Amino acid sequence: MSFVEVPHTADIKIRATAPTLEKLFSEAFAALMQVIYGPDRNGGKKREIALDAEDHESLMRDFLSEVLFIAEVDGMVFSSADIHIEGRHLSAVLDGEPFDRRRHAMGTEVKGISYSGLAITRDANGYMLDIVFDV
């Protein structure tokens, strides 16, 4: 995993790094699922999503918000995401399984994805993301 939890006063702040933008989105997705459900997540059921946004920060927030919405409404726990980004368009295939209280109730409830402190930067080594999950 290329993400770590960074100290934050009230919520959960994550810093992720990756060599490509798609991998950065995958790391943020993995961090969100880890925070909510813990490490025991499997695949088997696919879900496709597509989004457009005005910039990469908005695309990140919209993507993670959509994943959070699907997880809550459909009772799904996702283990992986195959993400493709072209400009400001994202398409992804999420792989997961139905929520099982015995295996997936070890995490922290995330109420939303915050715009506050959300930043994607790029340097010679790749991309870095700072993001806050509202708990």
Top pLDDT among 115 and 9 is at 115
Find, among 39, 41, 88, the residue nearest to 63 by Cα.
88
Domain at 79, CATH number: 3.55.10.10
Q: CB within 8 A of 123, min separation 6: which ones?
A: none
Q: Which domain, by its residues, includes 58? A: 3-134
Q: Return the beta strands (E) in the chain as ranges.
A: 3-6, 12-18, 45-52, 76-86, 89-98, 112-123, 126-134
Residue 58: what pLDDT? 97
Find, among 32, 33, 27, the residue nearest to 1 by Cα.
27
Q: pLDDT digit string (tens) for 37-56? A: 998 899 999 999 999 999 99
Total number of domains in the chain: 1
Q: pLDDT digit string (tens) for 97-130? A: 999 999 998 889 999 999 998 999 999 999 999 9
Q: pLDDT digit string (tens) for 50-82? A: 999 999 999 999 999 999 999 999 999 999 999
Global pTM exceeds 0.75? yes
